[in-house]
Amino acid sequence: MLRATRPRLFSVWSVARCDGRPVGGRVTQANAQVVRGARGILGLLLAACLFAGAASAQTFQIADIRVEGLQRIAAGTVFNYLPVQVGDTVEDGITAQIIRTLYGTGFFDDVAVERDGDVLVIAVRERPAVAEISIEGNKSLDTKVLKEGLAEVGLQEGRVFDPSVLDRIEQELQRQYFASGKYGVGIESTVSPLERNRVAVRIEIDEGLTARLKQINIVGNEAFSDKELLKQFKLGKTNWLSFYTKNDRYSKQELAGDLESLRSFYLDRGFIEFEITSTQVSISPDKNDIYLTIAVKEGPVYRVGDIQLAGEPSVPAAQLFPLIHMRRGEIYSRKTATESAERISTALGEEGYAFANVNAAPEVDADTNTVVVTFFIDPGNRVYVRRINMQGNTRTRDEVLRREMRQLETAWFSTELVKRSRERLQRLGYFDSVNIETPAVPGTADQVDIDVSVKEKASGNLMAGIGFSQSQGLIFNTSISQNNFLGTGKRVAFALNTSRTTQQYRLAYTNPYYTIDGISRGFDVSYQSTDFDQLIGADYSTDVGRAAINFGLPISDTARAGLGAYYQYTKFFAGFSLLAQDFVAENGDVFNDFFLTASYVNDKRDSAVFPTRGSLNTLFGEISIPGSDLQYYRLTYSGRKYVPLARRLTLALSGELGYGDGYGDTKDMPFFENFYAGGPRSVRGFRANTLGPRETTLDEDPVGGNMKLVGSVEIYAPPPLGGKFQDTVRVGAFLDFGNVWWTPDSDLVVPTGFDLGDLRYSTGLSFAWLSPVGALSLSVAYPLKSEEQDEEQVFQFTFGQTF
């Protein structure tokens, strides 16, 4: 009988040869107590040699194969793995091969090969199955995620238990905790046998405390102070923001990035010979504090001695030298050299040299401490676009994508035009992702194809919802919209919104490519009823019907101008308001007006939702034409600027200006068309639409104004929670200011006239969440400047509306 047992921790295969014959034998569980000296080794070799003679006499032809000891594993599974079958002859080496093969499956702890006449008998002892896995003490790592990771590496309930897998899991867990700064972590695994050849695996974790960077020392720096150098690091000592920035959590990856930042800092300031000679990381005995020491060698400062172009530039040198932002005699900067090379490469790419290679090579003169910077240019062949291929647009027509492409077929390849084409496709809003590849055409050296691959998303929206706003109360809304109607790129929308203050019905249609030049045309029909008593406390209301047509003209890839006209029917209900009654007495209560509109929009934001950089500027004007019952105009401007700051922070600056007045037979702009300020989307901390002038009646109802100035300075960022909330949640701190003014003279409104001293200010904290059931926006604001008649509202929120 030949028998072998697979070790639990590692495998030992002993093969001895006596008289040139192979020997099969038994391999038992390996540990430190298996072999105790030469006596045991000699005995093992002797037994193997004696057995070799017996093994040579066991050659026979297999009449049948019998497998013994199976519990869960089917006999057919074993037969599939066996290297022999019925009718084969058992010869030298076959036995060892059978044992190795079955052990290789990982199913068995023990395998024995025996002979019963001409029957090959394989006796096995199955490994136990994992019946239960329990994890305790894991506060930093989610249990569900951990179990999913365990299953990926082979430790899962119902599967065969492999002790080596458990060892690897312990090492990986320790590595993950070390990476998060928990160097005092303790991990203990317990395997408990259960009935029916099963085991229960229990992993106990003692996470300990997260080690913090106690100190960072830089040795050898003379030109720059430690404070200035440490500004280049993401790692840093614990401070009051560390809970959010996590800058005090040491990791090798973060340190490698910081060392590269330090190296770039010196190379960008002329220290070409700078080097980091050593890095030492020390951990305190209690494993809670980390000390980091970095030794550097600065070397001398090098200046630019000369600038040269080499190679075969296809563009005249007179056009390339202005792209090199370096001057003779100034301190050498690797960053400036790299950026200059990139500008040259981009310029060549715009001329059709798609595969141009530009390298900036500094030649150092140690005697004069100068550098000769040579830009080696290999433009390659001028490349043409053979074909543009569209993939993934199963619903959207090719025409919709191709009209957004700025790179054309049969034209020179331009990296800038390809980039702009991708950006325009992304702005459509029809796709989750847009990828562009430029493979070379086989067999040619000067042609490429452009492969555009898109992943479509649902462009239609059927929504029925409920929300709440402090300014409008309970809001019910229903809307059906299709931004890519039948794959044509046309937009169709129907909306119904009703709240305590407003009822609105709207039907709209827009063709963004009414002409092949990108001129859009749209129609819009709507009806809106507004109760100003519920909105701002003023006793009057309006019913407004509107039919509009508009055209849009593209100016650039980010800017667009608009022209339009609309007819508006207004029914005015004066109520008990003296201001409203005076207006009706002078102008009547039913109005038919015709308007002309003009607009300009320039959108350079990187995202329409939670942008982090870019700007959005909008200018809009409308005027009722002569012959209308009410003759007036309105001008509005709004601007937003987003500036990325360090540590994932974004600075948002916004401002809004508005002015309106009457002309002709209408003395002033109708007061129910006034601008309003205050509320969640204006000056937070004040009740919505209540700032500014008021009626001189006992109730002192707010009336808005014909002039508006509102602005905000806000810093916001993703939450410190991380994970799935990074893209859907923003928290911020803000400073708001603004007000509205009534400039016409009136005995029914106070105050009148424009005065910047009337500006209101507030500051506070904001929270915005794109939740699965609707958008939630809330703020806690404290008014910094207010007057007695102002209605303060510290906590404000809206839910179920777009923001």
Q: How many CB atoms lie within 10 A of CB 461?
A: 11
Q: Give the closest residue to 561 by CA, choosing from 577, 571, 550.
A: 550
What tens digit of pLDDT does each residue of 221-230 get?
Answer: 999 999 999 9
Q: Give the closest residue to 34 by CA, choosing from 47, 44, 49, 25.
A: 44
Confidence of residue 24 (pLDDT cuts 50, 70, 90): very low
Q: How many CB atoms lie within 10 A of CB 324?
A: 19
Is residue 14 within 8 A of residue 48, CB to CB? The reply is yes
pLDDT value of position 162: 79
**Tokens representing 352?**
């059709």
Q: Give the closest residue to 233 by CA, choosing from 306, 290, 294.
A: 294
Mean pLDDT across 765-781? 81
For residues 354 and 414, give the distance between their C-alpha atoms in angstroms, rounded to a whole number. Answer: 7
CA distances from 326 to 223, 272, 316, 372, 631 (A): 22, 16, 18, 11, 60
Q: Give the closest residue to 656 by CA, choosing from 716, 751, 736, 558.
A: 736
pLDDT value of position 130: 85
What tens digit of pLDDT does each residue of 275-308 get?
Answer: 999 999 888 888 888 899 999 999 999 999 999 9
pLDDT value of position 57: 44
- The secondary structure of residue 360, as a DSSP letter, is E
Confidence of residue 774 (pLDDT cuts 50, 70, 90): low
- The secondary structure of residue 628, as a DSSP letter, is S
Proportion of the chain in helix, strand, coil states, percent, rounded to 5: 20, 40, 40
For residues 739 and 272, give the distance between their C-alpha atoms in angstroms, rounded to a whole number. Answer: 56
Confidence of residue 471 (pLDDT cuts 50, 70, 90): very low
Mention every residue, 6+ apart, whose C-beta is less than 8 A from residue 453.
391, 392, 434, 435, 436, 437
What tens digit of pLDDT does each residue of 383-406 get?
Answer: 999 999 999 988 889 888 999 899
Is residue 643 within 8 A of residue 668, CB to CB? The reply is no
DSSP states of 666-684 as a string? --S--GGG-B---STTSST
Confidence of residue 750 (pLDDT cuts 50, 70, 90): confident
- The one-letter amino acid code at 213 reads L
Q: Give the closest residue to 554 by CA, choosing from 388, 403, 398.
A: 403
The β-bridge partners of 271 are: none
Is residue 203 within 8 A of residue 222, CB to CB? The reply is no
**Tokens representing 137?**
């003490």
The mean predicted confidence, pLDDT, of the chain is 82
**Tokens representing 376?**
């080696």
Confidence of residue 470 (pLDDT cuts 50, 70, 90): very low
What tens digit of pLDDT does each residue of 351-361 get?
Answer: 888 888 899 99
Q: What percent of the chain has pLDDT over 70?
A: 88
Mean pLDDT across 728-757? 87
Mean pLDDT across 174-179? 79
**Sheet hosting strand 212-219, strand order edge to edge:** 212-219, 289-297, 275-283
Q: Which of the residue ranges 79-88, 326-335, 563-572 would you say has the lowest mean pLDDT?
A: 79-88
Q: Which residue has the higher pLDDT, 252 or 407?
A: 407
pLDDT value of position 355: 84
pLDDT value of position 15: 31
The size of the chain, in residues, is 803
**Tokens representing 217?**
């020392």
For residues 121 and 78, give the distance between their C-alpha atoms in angstroms, rounded to a whole number. Answer: 12
Kindly state the helix (H) or strand (E) to which residue 129 belongs, with its residue range.
strand 129-136
Q: Which of the residue ranges 5-14, 96-105, 482-491, 632-641 would you say has the lowest mean pLDDT?
A: 5-14
Q: Which residue has the higher pLDDT, 132 or 154?
A: 132
* Chain Cα centroid distance, residue 512: 29
Measured distance between the N- and C-terminal CA atoms of the chain, rounded to whole angstroms? 79
pLDDT value of position 298: 94
For residues 746 and 722, give the distance between their C-alpha atoms in angstroms, rounded to a whole number. Answer: 55
Q: Give the closest residue to 765 by CA, choosing from 725, 733, 720, 729.
A: 733
**Tokens representing 348?**
């060549």
Evaluate if residue 140 carries a pLDDT over 60. yes
Residue matched to tokens 């109708």: 670
Q: Give the closest residue to 528 by CA, choosing from 504, 494, 498.
A: 504
Mean pLDDT across 158-185? 80
Confidence of residue 671 (pLDDT cuts 50, 70, 90): confident
**Tokens representing 673?**
């068309």
Backbone angles phi, psi at 419, to 5 degrees: -60, -45
What tens digit of pLDDT does each residue of 547-604 get?
Answer: 999 999 999 888 999 999 999 999 998 878 888 888 888 888 999 999 999 999 999 8
Q: Hey, is 94 helix, strand or coil?
A: helix
Mention every residue, 6+ apart, whose C-beta is less than 8 A from residue 46.
none
For residues 758 and 694, give the distance between their C-alpha atoms in angstroms, rounded to a whole number. Answer: 13
- The secondary structure of residue 750, as a DSSP letter, is E
β-pairing, 212-219 vs 289-297, is: parallel
**Tokens representing 377?**
């240019």
**Tokens representing 367?**
């005697």
**Tokens representing 543?**
């019913």
Q: Which of the residue ranges 142-146, 713-717, 767-771 would you say has the lowest mean pLDDT?
A: 142-146
Is residue 22 within 8 A of residue 96, CB to CB? The reply is yes
CA distances from 287 to 44, 252, 316, 587 (A): 47, 16, 62, 82
For residues 323 and 795, give the distance between their C-alpha atoms in angstroms, rounded to a whole number. Answer: 53
Is residue 740 within 8 A of residue 705, CB to CB? The reply is yes
Q: What percent of the chain has pLDDT over 90?
A: 34
pLDDT value of position 296: 95
Confidence of residue 778 (pLDDT cuts 50, 70, 90): confident
Q: Give the closest residue to 235 by CA, choosing from 208, 217, 209.
A: 217
CA 149, 153, 156 angle in degrees (round to 5)? Answer: 75
Evaluate if residue 34 carries a pLDDT over 50. no
Mention every residue, 6+ apart, whose C-beta is less than 8 A from residue 576.
539
Q: Can you give the pTM of this predicted structure?
A: 0.61
473: number of CA atoms within 13 Å, CB side? 11
Confidence of residue 525 (pLDDT cuts 50, 70, 90): very high
Is residue 258 within 8 A of residue 251, CB to CB? The reply is no
Residue 61, Cβ density class (10 Å: 0-12 exposed, 13-18 middle, ≥19 buried): exposed
Backbone angles phi, psi at 665, to 5 degrees: -80, -10
**Tokens representing 188?**
């203990």
Q: How many CB atoms lie within 10 A of CB 615?
A: 16
What tens digit of pLDDT does each residue of 409-436 get?
Answer: 989 898 889 988 988 888 787 887 889 9
Is residue 646 within 8 A of residue 653, CB to CB? The reply is no
**Tokens representing 535?**
């909105």
